[in-house]
Amino acid sequence: MNVCYGVTVKPGVVWCVILFIYVLFLSPVAQSQEDPATAAPVTAVAEDPQEAAARQLRIYRETLLQGSTEDVRVDAAVGLLLQDSPQSREILVSALKNEENPLARQAVCKALIKSRGLAQTMNSPGVFLEPLLGILRGKSPEQAELAAEAMLLFEYSEIAGAVEQLLYDKELSPQIRSNAIYALQVRSEPLALRILIGLLDNSEAEIAKAAETALQEAFGIPVGTSRTVWADILSELQRKRPEDIRRERLLRQEMKLREVQAERDRWQKLYLAALDKQYEPLDEAGQAKMILEMMDSELPPLRLWALDKLTKYPITGNEKLREKLLSFLSDSSRDVRLQSAKVLMNMSVLNPAAKLLERFEQEKDPEVALAMFEALGEAVFFAFSSNSQVELPPEIKTKTLAIASDYLNQDTVEAAEKGANVIGKILELNNLPAESIRFYLGLLEERYIRAIPQNGTLRGNLLAILARLCGQGGAKETACDLFEPLFIEGLTVPNNPALRLAAAQGLVYVDKVKAMELFRQNQLMLDESVAVRLIVIDLAGQTGQAADLDWLLKLLSGSEYGEQVWQAIRNICQRQSADFLLDWAGTLESSDGLKDGYVREILDIAEQKASAEKDSDLLIRIQQRTIGRLVQQKIWDQAAAYLLKINYSVTENDFSEETNGQILKICLYSDLSEKMVQYIQNKINRHDLDRTSPWVVFLQDYFSDETVAEQAKQTTLKHIAAIQIKNRPRWSSFVEEMDCRLNAPLPKTEIEANQDTESPVSM
């Protein structure tokens, strides 16, 4: 890359011109191949090659001299250079000499700059030298710089005499001599640079200053560098090849460009931050006004800022903003067009489909076109969805599907995936003929099969789209029949968890029972992918059997997704018998590291089932198991609530003696004093107290329990002392014993100590 101010080199421009020429040659052939049914009968006459060439020259000449844009004029000049005929060179030389058409002159210079690589194959390139030197002698610095860069087409020895003559002619204006200095500046030959260094001592201050500035631009050395340093530089340059000098200068220019870009970005960031501060406090009307002002800005960064604000602004109903946004799809800035398409991706309610399709067909940038297509697919899906207020012609949907098919068959992952996604969405709408559904499902299947050998991201993403089609929409039934073998095959593919996830989800949509069987066979509950395991766990909750509880229980302990596992266990238990659940609660109870509430939940499910089945014996066993566990865990409040829930009656229950004793313990440790009194009274009504009875042991333990507050013990003692039953001496003795234990008189020393602390202090 050489110094080339103001010139944008477009890759492939030469091929574009060649293609243009090719089309011109084909035009008469195309005309002769019109439909014979409609074409007028004419006699085919072959065009004279000389006439065709002359016509091409005229087209190029008119385009060069009167083209509407710089790109068009430069392309025409390049086309003339490629013809490399005396006639084409004459047109180019004439344009270079024409001072009244500076745009054509500049276009030829830029074409010569672009075409320097053709110098070795170009016939008579020397015809351009004198016109270029003529521009160098002109008054326009911009044209002179382009001419100097175009003269890089020649070796320095070919231009040295003419350039130095301009340089040392004191009668010429300083501007013309500065043009000559620039012609030396862009050269990489040491001889040219030596002349520039020599000019540092020129007696004319203006020339010396221009030379110093040129050297500073060429080498990045500050103005004012001493002559000794320049001498060293010159000595070093003598040892370098011109291509090495060009490479170093290019690196310096790139570094300088990066610095300038970094500074530009910094100031741009500061300015946009200031706009944000101005925008945020405004009301909705003020924000809309500011957005519109920025959308009208000539600067792409400000238009991009406005687009960013549009994503958060309620644009629906604001026709001005809508029209402006849609107009951005044809903006001169590629970045603005791209961002506009991305914004419209989430604004299908604005009905942008027709405009998106129109602009897509004209867009040349592949990335922008893909973004427009994606937004188009979303807009079509929205418009043809049920309850949508947007109306679109069916042809737009048809064209969108055709475009999606083209993208689907591309080799790039992003294009193929987005094409498949749009096809999938439109198929979900359930408003296509059956034959169309089968056709597009077939396209998806074929593209997936093409992606199998790579086994990459595209394969997994495509299978996920196929799975989604099996789960919802109008293509569901056909998709399930067509894609089930693909899901089964993808279920066991190693090193592709996304593929296995899509396969698992697809099989769930096709047949849940069959899918669960396949998951068990392939041990997918142990898959390395958490997402796959969660699919299996969820399906087990829906269709799993008692045997699945074993592996689910292993996953439950210490699992990061324990809640999902437990939900699956609960769902399976809901489908089991109460007797099974009572037994399995023991298995659950013996497992380590589980939440205390798990066993209680299973017992609750078992109790509900036994009650529904009216199996009173089983119901009693379950309730006794629940009571025993609550007492074991000392969850007194929950235990008391459970007794109230089952309407426990002291006098009428079928619980065992042990369970009734446990119930007394619950009453003692919770606020169920009434039931406690009923229980004791019921016992001693039958016979006097037996100190070996479990319920008596519970009472003794309670009054000896240091964790129970003394006040609570006194209250309990008061309740049981109030029970008056004749002829129960052992019971009366027990009450007196408990009273003495709780209310024993203090030893004499303690009484005296208490009196000392309570007596007034003597003075």
- pLDDT for 37 equals 33
> What pLDDT does 257 receive?
74
Single-letter residue type at 127: V
Handedness of CA 305, 306, 309, 310 (dihedral sign): negative
* Contacts for 364 with CB less than 8 Å, ≥ 6 apart: none
Is residue 589 pLDDT above 80, yes or no? yes
pLDDT above 90 (res 52): no
Binning pLDDT at 50, 70 and 90, where does residue 264 land? Answer: confident
pLDDT band at 282 (very low <50, low <70, confident <90, very high): very high
157: pLDDT strictly greater than 80 = yes
Mean pLDDT of 682-694: 81
User: Is it the case that residue 34 has pLDDT exceeding 80?
Assistant: no
- C-beta of residue 70 within 8 angstroms of C-beta of residue 107: yes
Q: How confident is the model at residue 130 (pLDDT cuts 50, 70, 90)?
A: very high
Residue 683 has pLDDT above 90, yes or no: no
According to DSSP H, which parts of 384-472 are helical? Answer: 394-408, 413-428, 434-451, 457-471
The whole-number average pLDDT for the span 375-379 is 96
Distance CA 2, CA 186 (A): 8
* Most confident by average pLDDT, 103-112, 167-176, 220-229, 591-600: 103-112
Question: What was the pLDDT predicted at 725?
Answer: 79
pLDDT 10s digits, 515-573: 999 999 999 999 999 999 999 999 999 999 999 999 999 998 767 888 999 999 999 99
**Per-residue b/e over 592-620, b at no fewer than 16 CB within 10 Å?**
eebeeebbbbbbbbbbebbbeeebeebbb
Q: Is 138 helix (H, G, I), strand (E, B) or coil?
A: coil
Q: What is the pLDDT of residues 81-105, one digit of tens each?
A: 888 888 998 999 999 999 999 999 9
- Burial (CB count <10 Å: 0-12, 13-18, 19+), residue 525: buried
The stretch 570-591 carries a mean pLDDT of: 93
Residue 216 CA from chain centroid, whole number: 46
Q: Which residue pairs from 592-595 have beta carbons closer than 8 angstroms and sit at least 24 positions apart in sequence?
A: 592/557, 593/557, 593/558, 594/556, 594/557
Among 685, 688, 679, which residue's Cα sits nearest to residue 720?
679
Lowest-confidence range among 100-114, 216-230, 458-472?
A: 216-230
Residue range 699-719: average pLDDT?
A: 89
Percent of the chain residues past pLDDT 70, beyond the cut: 87
Tell me which residue of 111, 118, 123, 121 sits closest to 147, measured CA to CA: 111
- Judged against a pLDDT cut of 80, whether residue 351 lies above it is answered with yes
CA 14, CA 82: separation in Å to the nearest integer?
8
Contacts of 651 (CB under 8 A, 6+ apart): 678, 682
Query: Taking residues 214-234, what's their average pLDDT?
Result: 69
CA dihedral sign of residues 7, 8, 9, 13 = negative
Give the pLDDT score at 94: 94
Structure tokens at 278: 């101005």
Q: Can you give the pLDDT at residue 35?
A: 36
State residue 567's pLDDT score.
95
In terms of Cα–Cα distance, which of 311, 342, 344, 312 is closest to 326? 344
Of 31-35, 241-245, 407-411, where does mean pLDDT reach its minimum? 31-35
Lowest mean pLDDT among 18-32, 318-332, 574-588: 18-32
pLDDT band at 746 (very low <50, low <70, confident <90, very high): low
Per-residue model confidence (pLDDT) at position 430: 77
Could you read off the pLDDT of 489-511 as tens digits, one per residue? 999 999 999 999 999 999 999 99
Confidence of residue 23 (pLDDT cuts 50, 70, 90): very low
Distance CA 102, CA 125 (A): 21
DSSP assignment letter at 62: H
Of the given ranges (324-333, 454-463, 552-561), which has the lowest mean pLDDT?
552-561
Q: What is the mean pLDDT of the chain?
A: 85
Question: What are 756's two structure tokens?
Answer: 């000392």
Burial class, 98, CB count within 10 angstroms (exposed 0-12 / middle 13-18 / buried 19+)? middle
Give the model's pLDDT for residue 121.
62
Full-model pTM: 0.65
Contact status, residue 322 vs residue 340, Cβ threshold 8 Å: no
Q: Decide if pLDDT at 119 tops 70.
A: no
Most confident of 350-359, 586-595, 686-695: 350-359
Check pLDDT > 50 for residue 479. Answer: yes
Report the pLDDT value the prediction gives residue 401, as an integer from 0 to 100: 96
DSSP letter, residue 545: -
Asked if the model's pLDDT at residue 33 lies above 50, the reply is no
Q: Is the pLDDT score of 433 beyond 60?
A: yes
Within 8 A by CB and 6+ apart from 627, the residues are 639, 642, 643, 655, 659, 662, 663, 666
DSSP 278-347: HHTTS-HHHHHHHHHHHHT-SSHHHHHHHHHHHTTS--TT-HHHHHHHHHGGG-S-HHHHHHHHHHHTT-
Between 515 and 9, the higher pLDDT residue: 515
* Mean pLDDT, rounded, for 384-408: 93
- Helical ranges in 84-226 per DSSP H: 86-97, 102-114, 129-136, 141-150, 156-168, 174-185, 190-198, 205-219
Among 124-128, 150-154, 246-250, 690-694, name the most confident range. 150-154
Question: Residue 247 above 90 pLDDT?
Answer: no
Q: How far apart are CA 602 and CA 574, in angstroms?
A: 9
Dihedral of alpha carbons 63, 65, 67, 73, sign: positive
Instruction: Determine the pLDDT at residue 225.
Output: 66
pLDDT of residue 220: 64
Give the pLDDT confidence score for residue 237 in this predicted structure: 65
